Chains A and B, each alone.
Chain A
Amino acid sequence: MSHDDDLDLELGRLRDATADLLPSAGFADRVMAAVAEVPEVTLIDVVGRWGRWAVAAAAMAAAAASFIAVDVEQDVNAEVISTFDAVEVSP
């Protein structure tokens, strides 16, 4: 028998021996009493949570829009410069 088998046997024995440990009587009542003290989630909490997401999404959209606007402006400038260079004035 390997060392690991030995360890597993020992842990198995302790698992079986501790199987009948139960929570004390009235444990569920105590949990429910603690739960009763948790304030209810109100509409304001929900709106507040979604509001934070909305603000974050709007900020990201604004950042993306600024980036695109700058990029487009650079393209337009390049286009204007190349067009200007290409103008031929006939005598």
Chain B
Amino acid sequence: MSADLQLQAARVAKGDRAAFRTIVEQTQVPLHRLAIRLLGNPAEAEDVLQEAYVKAFRALSADRFSGDSAVQTWLYRIVTNAALDHMRRRRSKEKSSDAAPEPQMDGAGSAEARMALRELDAWLQDLTPDQRAVVILKAVEGMTTPEVAEVLACSEGAVEQRLVRARATLREKRDLTESQKP
């Protein structure tokens, strides 16, 4: 798939808009899963993913994709950055209004999957957006530390540091929940 994506990206750079549909069709499922796990909200995930695809298209058609990384990794980076920006905006809105938005659960997927998404979102709620991204990319998406560092454009040390802090927060939260059980 990687070579094909590279080929399609080159076609988009030459002005072939239809080639971009192939890129979207080949990558929408994993990228949607990434966005939905990062944001915990199907409606927001689709909006952010669409925005990320438009950004990617603009970059490709203006020949701003350097080709240093694989198209898939590059798209992961764009989606993760768009989701991080969205999370930060949402947090500052929540702080000013004191009300967290209720997740919209009308996207496709089984009831169990939507329930699990809600559980994942609640569990990761206390993490900063950067920590949440590292946990999702590494522990959920199964990326290696160098891959996560490439997607987040940071050092491998920074990835490990965020992961350690995130794990400590998650452990604290779980211990607190268990101690409150009757």
Contact = CB atoms under 8 A, between A and B. Distances in A.
A31 B139 CA distance: 29
Interface in B7-32: 15, 17, 20-21, 24-25, 28-29, 32
Contacts of B114: 21
Interface in A8-62: 8, 10-15, 17-25, 27-28, 30-32, 34-36, 38, 40-41, 45, 49
Given A25-B108, A31-B50, A38 B113 contact: no
Interface string B110-146: 1011111101100100000000000100011110000
B53 A21 contact: no
A28 B53 CA distance: 10
Interface residues of B, number: 45
Contacts of A28: 21, 24-25, 28
A50 B88 CA distance: 35
Contact of A18 (B33, B50, B57, B167): B33
B109 A34 contact: no
Contact of B113 (A21, A24, A25): A21
Nearest to A30: B50
Nearest to A21: B109
A14 B20 CA distance: 32
Contacts of A12: 139
Contacts of B62: 41, 45, 49
A interface, by DSSP: helix, strand, loop or mixed? helix
A89 interface: no
A19 B142 CA distance: 13
Interface of A: 3-4, 6-8, 10-15, 17-25, 27-28, 30-32, 34-36, 38, 40-41, 45, 49
Given A22-B108, A28-B25, 17 more contacts: A15-B139, A18-B120, A21-B33, A21-B42, A21-B107, A21-B109, A21-B113, A22-B29, A27-B46, A30-B50, A31-B54, A34-B53, A35-B17, A38-B57, A41-B62, A41-B63, A45-B62
11 contacts: A3-B167, A12-B139, A19-B33, A21-B33, A22-B29, A24-B46, A27-B49, A30-B50, A35-B20, A35-B54, A38-B61
